[in-house]
């Protein structure tokens, strides 16, 4: 542009030298006008180029690496609003794909989701959603003024830090991802309530968080609330927050939301707070109150070593070890089960009945009592996985098969267990709290239909009772 302006100027002098009607002053103005027009053209070209690069991105491939979850939905819903295609990575397996060197280049923490773009990766679900929302120039997801933009960002942070952080901390111990501590849970619940209280007040006179249409704040807030409504917020809990409840269902049912969210299964409000699947037993109350009269004993100084170490008490024998010996050796059965790869019926199942000793062992069917709650496949699988982990204490005395049944939620959980002894061992009943979540029925060996059911459960027969298996887990 500078070169052009100079050329204009020198041309101006030339015209004066040839005594043309233009005088120098006039030429000066013309030069200025031409330079100005040139600048305008450059700016327009710049804007067009910017648009072209955004359009390029809009039509280029964006891939989200993750399984579908509420965090992924944020970007997918934003994509619906701005008409951008975001693909899900094929065959992504949580726990495997996110540990690969390729994934760690997208997100060094190995956490999902991560977005692959032609310009480089982005992680953190809110950042991904912001990026996608920006791909269409002139859209209202960021509001229509600086103040609206500020408020949208305010609610995005609020939903992440005041609500999502507390909801995650509340639900994680229940999913078995963290240790349950009663007092900590109480403080997370009160954090959620405080956040929902403020949100409720804000929404009392509004349909959307900011302005008169859906913004990115509504997308992120709603996605963050999904797991709360599914797993934690019962009707009686949300009755304190009626405007949040109305807002949530209004948003979830917006076509661009429901199209994406329903891919995770139907959103149904929790009837009970998600029961525990933690690997640690919830803190139980002390059995008896400490005696009030007794003066508290002074704590020994940590440095002071006991004068003489007490001899370790011999470990009490498990009553099952005192049972009369059985010709059935549990480990032999477990080995046969694991090593049989073909002809399972003829080899493993036949072998099982050949070695089965009804005097030394018993077989039990179990049926999960709360199948209605099994609305999310991975949560149901985690629940069963947690149960099997907690059965570790019975490994020497038990073998089990757990089936997660159905193509669609609610999934049914049914199982078969072989226990040492003719009853379910008392220590298992006492120490594994999942046991009471199931109905237990002793297998009647005189009933051929029940024996066939045992066979089918051992061999993961499909369809099982007319339905596909979502998963089959073995305890051995
Ligand atoms: N603040 C992150 C949270 C990411 C996150 O915690 N992702 C979980 C799954 S929802 C994960 O990848 N966990 C695996 C791990 O921690 O290794 C976001 O919004 O993207």
- Phi, then psi, of 401 in degrees rounded to 5: -125, 130
pLDDT given at position 59: 58
Q: Are strands 86-88 and 120-123 parallel, antiparallel or unpaired?
A: unpaired
DSSP state of 467: B
On whether the CB atoms of residues 117 and 72 are closer than 8 A, the answer is no
Output the CA 372–ligand 1 centroid distance in Å. Answer: 27
- For residue 331, the tally of other CB atoms under 10 A from its CB is 10
Output the CA 263–ligand 1 centroid distance in Å. Answer: 20
pLDDT given at position 236: 95
Q: What angle separates helix 70-82 from helix 216-227, to the nearest 10 degrees?
A: 150
Burial of 176 (0-12, 13-18, 19+ CB in 10 A): buried
**Which of 112, 126, 168, 231 best tests ligand 1's pocket when mutated (most atoms within 8 Å of CB)?**
112
pLDDT per 10-residue tile (average), the chain, 476 residues = 37 43 71 84 69 57 96 98 96 95 97 97 98 94 97 98 98 88 95 98 97 98 97 96 96 97 95 75 44 39 37 74 93 94 93 96 96 86 88 94 94 96 94 89 96 97 95 95
Rounded Cα–Cα distance for residues 355 and 155 (Å): 64
pLDDT given at position 276: 83
Residue nearest to atom 19 of ligand 1 (CA): 125
Please identify, by atom number, the ligand 1 atom nearest to the C-alpha of residue 66: 12
pLDDT given at position 311: 52
Output the CA 169–ligand 1 centroid distance in Å. Answer: 13
Rounded Cα–Cα distance for residues 84 and 136 (Å): 8
Rounded Cα–Cα distance for residues 376 and 380 (Å): 6
pLDDT given at position 300: 36
Output the CA 110–ligand 1 centroid distance in Å. Answer: 8
Output the CA 261–ligand 1 centroid distance in Å. Answer: 18
Rounded Cα–Cα distance for residues 303 and 305 (Å): 6
DSSP symbols for 47-87: HHHHHHHHHHHHHS-EEEES-S-HHHHHHHHHHHHHT--EE
Residue nearest to atom 11 of ligand 1 (CA): 111
H or E segment and range at residue 225: helix 216-227
On whether the CB atoms of residues 71 and 112 are closer than 8 A, the answer is yes
Output the CA 279–ligand 1 centroid distance in Å. Answer: 20
Q: Three-state DSSP class for 399?
A: strand
Q: Three-state DSSP class for 430?
A: helix
Residue nearest to atom 2 of ligand 1 (CA): 124
Please identify, by atom number, the ligand 1 atom nearest to the C-alpha of residue 69: 10
Pocket of ligand 1 (CB under 6 A): 69, 71, 110-113, 124-125
Please identify, by atom number, the ligand 1 atom nearest to the C-alpha of residue 124: 20
Output the CA 112–ligand 1 centroid distance in Å. Answer: 5
Q: Write the CA distances from 40 to 2, 9, 26, 30, 44, integer angstroms.
A: 14, 19, 21, 15, 6
Q: Three-state DSSP class for 414?
A: strand
Residue 436 in tokens: 């009471």
Output the CA 71–ligand 1 centroid distance in Å. Answer: 9
**Which of 78, 108, 111, 216 best tests ligand 1's pocket when mutated (most atoms within 8 Å of CB)?**
111
Comparing C-alpha atoms, which of 124, 50, 48, 129 is closest to residue 86? 129
On whether the CB atoms of residues 324 and 289 are closer than 8 A, the answer is no
Please identify, by atom number, the ligand 1 atom nearest to the C-alpha of residue 71: 19
pLDDT given at position 169: 97
Output the CA 129–ligand 1 centroid distance in Å. Answer: 15
Q: What angle separates helix 216-227 from helix 242-252, to the nearest 10 degrees?
A: 110
Residues 6+ away with beta carbon under 8 Å from 378: 67
Q: Three-state DSSP class for 280?
A: coil
pLDDT given at position 377: 86
Q: Write the CA distances from 118 to 122, 155, 399, integer angstroms.
A: 11, 30, 51
Please identify, by atom number, the ligand 1 atom nearest to the C-alpha of residue 128: 20
Burial of 40 (0-12, 13-18, 19+ CB in 10 A): exposed
pLDDT given at position 241: 96
């Amino acid at each position: 542009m500078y070169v052009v302006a100079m050329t204009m100027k020198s041309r101006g002098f030339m015209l004066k030298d040839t005594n043309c009607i233009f005088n120098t002053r006039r030429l000066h103005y013309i030069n200025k006008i031409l330079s100005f027009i040139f600048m305008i053209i450059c700016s327009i070209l710049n804007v067009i180029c910017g648009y072209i690069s955004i359009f390029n991105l809009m039509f280029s491939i964006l891939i989200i690496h993750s399984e579908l979850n509420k965090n992924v939905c944020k970007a997918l819903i934003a994509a619906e609003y701005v008409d951008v295609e975001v693909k899900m990575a094929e065959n992504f397996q949580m726990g495997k794909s996110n540990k690969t060197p390729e994934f760690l280049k997208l997100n060094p923490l190995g956490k999902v989701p991560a977005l692959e773009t032609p310009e480089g990766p982005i992680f953190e679900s809110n950042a991904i959603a912001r990026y996608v929302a920006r791909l269409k120039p002139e859209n209202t997801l960021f509001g229509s003024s600086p103040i609206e933009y500020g408020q949208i960002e305010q609610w995005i942070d609020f939903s992440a830090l005041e609500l999502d952080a507390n909801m995650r901390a509340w639900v994680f111990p229940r999913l078995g991802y963290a240790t349950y501590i009663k007092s900590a849970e109480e403080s997370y619940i009160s954090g959620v309530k405080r956040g929902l209280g403020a949100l409720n007040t804000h929404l009392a006179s509004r349909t959307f968080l900011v302005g008169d249409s859906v913004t990115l704040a509504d997308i992120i807030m709603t996605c963050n609330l999904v797991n709360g409504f599914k797993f934690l917020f019962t009707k009686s809990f949300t009755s304190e927050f009626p405007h949040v409840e109305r807002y949530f269902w209004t948003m979830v049912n917006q076509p661009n939301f429901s199209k994406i969210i329903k891919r995770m299964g139907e959103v149904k409000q929790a009837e009970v707070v998600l029961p525990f699947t933690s690997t640690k037993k919830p803190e139980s109350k002390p059995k008896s109150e400490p005696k009030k009269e007794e003066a508290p004993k002074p704590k020994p100084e940590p440095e002071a070593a006991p004068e003489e170490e007490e001899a370790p008490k011999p470990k009490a024998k498990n009553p099952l070890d005192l049972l009369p010996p059985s010709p059935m050796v549990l480990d032999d059965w477990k080995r046969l089960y694991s090593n049989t790869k073909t002809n399972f019926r003829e080899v493993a199942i036949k072998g099982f009945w050949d070695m089965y000793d009804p005097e030394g062992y018993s077989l039990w069917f179990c049926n999960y009592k709360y199948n209605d709650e099994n609305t999310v496949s991975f949560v149901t699988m985690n629940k069963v996985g947690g149960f099997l982990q907690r059965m570790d204490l019975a490994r020497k005395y038990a073998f089990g098969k757990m089936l997660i049944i159905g193509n669609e939620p609610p999934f049914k959980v049914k199982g078969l267990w072989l226990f040492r002894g003719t009853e379910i061992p008392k220590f298992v009943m006492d120490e594994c709290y999942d046991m009471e979540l199931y109905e237990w029925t002793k297998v009647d060996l005189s009933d051929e239909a029940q024996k066939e059911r045992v066979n089918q459960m051992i061999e993961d027969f499909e369809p099982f009772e007319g339905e596909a298996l979502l998963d089959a887990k073995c305890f051995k």
